[in-house]
Amino acid sequence: MKTAIIGGGAAGFFLAITLKELCPQMHVTIFERSQHLLRKVKVSGGGRCNCTNTFEDVRDLSAVYPRGHRLMKRLLKGFSERDAYAWFECHGVPLTVQPDHCVFPAAQDSQAIIDCFLRHARRLSIDLRLSTPITSVTPASPLLVTTPSSATTPSVSTEGSPEGSPEGFDFVALTTGGQPRLDSLRWLADLGHEIEPPVPSLFTFSIEDPALRALMGTVVEGAIASIPGTKFRATGPLLITHWGVSGPAILKLSSYAARHLADNAYRAPLAINWTGLNEEQARAELTALLAANPRKQLATLRPFGLPSRLWHYLLSKATASSTSAPASSTLASSPAEALSKKTLNRLVALLTADAYTIASRAPFKDEFVTCGGVALSAVNPSTLESRHCPHLYFAGELLDIDGITGGFNFQAAWTTAHTVAHTIAATLK
């Protein structure tokens, strides 16, 4: 029996190793289009590979998997984050958990995961074919896997298979990762698979506001970023950058609103709540602080533990928008008791719903995943087998499953790969 795994990334290797361990008699081949295996694993997590998460802070899976949370809920029962943790430790990669629940190799180096996968692939005699892009799979028995040399596109040398002849496999698993271009999914659509158009997720926002950008380097720990008029909002650390805003709250918001922002050409209003509190709570806390420090200069107060540069900026913004308020320098140096009701209202509004406009998606790919891909309606949710082509399976980011930062995307790769490996093994039995 032969299985072809198309894509030598995280899901492809995990699937190949799991399958070979379950069915040593299976001949397993990984086809990788580039000259490099596991390239994204290498660069992931800033070179450390945030390979999973303890999920301790996760109350609702939809908060960490904006696409695919229902399917993940089902599949995690078969292979959870704890199973992934145990798998890596059993396969020779000691792990460590950070206080924020993110899990990394104890070596703090993604190479530890790569070395593990390559070592076990060698031990299990998994056939690795580099520089072998697969352009189509023909539904037949066996399934026919075609490389460009055997199709009409220019020749690419393939090791092991005669150039130009499609190779037959009993099972094929597609683990080709996020496909940013709809074109590269066309052949799957031609086989009948529903496709969710791919759009980027996990990006930062450009904001054309020189006064805000002047605060670059400022971090606010418990900010809330939201898109007014929608349900999209995200909480967490927010970083002001020289192009706009970044940090976990913004990456999360970009993930929740990935499709909405794409539909609006990445122009949208943005509200920032610098306090993490609702308006009423913020007003009460600020009023109490003012009352407790009537003689103190406003500039020295630093409510909500805000960085002083940000507090001064908000004071001057409150002044700028209020004709009755004193000049900004005067307001900052005024005693707390001199703050008028009107300026207090304005300050509370700025602290809890400071308004900006997202001008574009920032061109930096800190961590980038694709929202969209093969629609979940195209697969059997228990087995991840195609509903349109028997013995064809999907795993990893090619599916319309994507998570926020924190190790959730790799966990989806491990869980879906595990599901497919076990399905193929069960078919044999």
Ligand X SMILES: Cc1cc2nc3c(=O)[nH]c(=O)nc-3n(C[C@H](O)[C@H](O)[C@H](O)COP(=O)(O)OP(=O)(O)OC[C@H]3O[C@@H](n4cnc5c(N)ncnc54)[C@H](O)[C@@H]3O)c2cc1C
Q: What is the contact surface with ligand X in residues (CB under 6 A)?
A: 6-12, 31-34, 39-40, 43-45, 49-50, 133-134, 175-177, 367-369, 396-398, 407-410, 413
CA distance 421 to 417: 6
**Cβ(312)–Cβ(354) under 8 Å?**
no
81 or 385: whose CB is closer to ligand X?
A: 81
**Cβ(144)–Cβ(6) under 8 Å?**
no
50 or 226: whose CB is closer to ligand X?
A: 50
Cβ 402 to ligand X shortest distance, Å: 7
Nearest to 415 by CA among 64, 128, 115: 64
148 or 303: whose CB is closer to ligand X?
A: 148
Cβ 227 to ligand X shortest distance, Å: 24
- Compute φ and ψ for 406, nearest 5 degrees: 125, 10
List the structure tokens of 413: 């790769």
Cβ 105 to ligand X shortest distance, Å: 11
132 or 334: whose CB is closer to ligand X?
A: 132
Side-chain half-sphere exposure of 304, counting CA atoms within 13 A: 27
319 or 415: whose CB is closer to ligand X?
A: 415
239 or 413: whose CB is closer to ligand X?
A: 413
Cβ 46 to ligand X shortest distance, Å: 8
Query: Among all residues, whose Cβ is closest to ligand X?
Result: 9
Quick one: angle between helices 408-428 and 69-76, nearest 10? 60
**Cβ(367)–Cβ(177) under 8 Å?**
no
CA distance 261 to 241: 20
Cβ 24 to ligand X shortest distance, Å: 23
6 or 220: whose CB is closer to ligand X?
A: 6
33 or 283: whose CB is closer to ligand X?
A: 33
Cβ 269 to ligand X shortest distance, Å: 28
Q: Residue 370 region, left (φ>0) first, then alpha (ψ -120 to 50), else beta?
A: beta
Cβ 381 to ligand X shortest distance, Å: 18
CA distance 367 to 270: 21
Q: What is the DSSP string of 173-233?
A: EE-----SSGGGGHHHHHTT--EEEEEEES--EE---HHHHTTTT-EEEEEEEE-TTSS-E
List the structure tokens of 11: 């899901």
User: What b/e readout covers 134-154, taking b as 16+ CB neighbours within 10 angstroms?
Assistant: bbbbeeeebbbbbbbbbeeee
248 or 396: whose CB is closer to ligand X?
A: 396
41 or 298: whose CB is closer to ligand X?
A: 41
List the structure tokens of 14: 């995990």
29 or 226: whose CB is closer to ligand X?
A: 29
Cβ 413 to ligand X shortest distance, Å: 4
Going 370 to 375 to 381 to 383, the CA torsion angle's sign is negative
3-state secondary structure of 12: helix
Q: DSSP assignment, residue 123?
A: H
Cβ 35 to ligand X shortest distance, Å: 10
List the structure tokens of 345: 């209202």
Cβ 81 to ligand X shortest distance, Å: 11
- Compute φ and ψ for 273, nearest 5 degrees: -100, 110
Cβ 206 to ligand X shortest distance, Å: 19
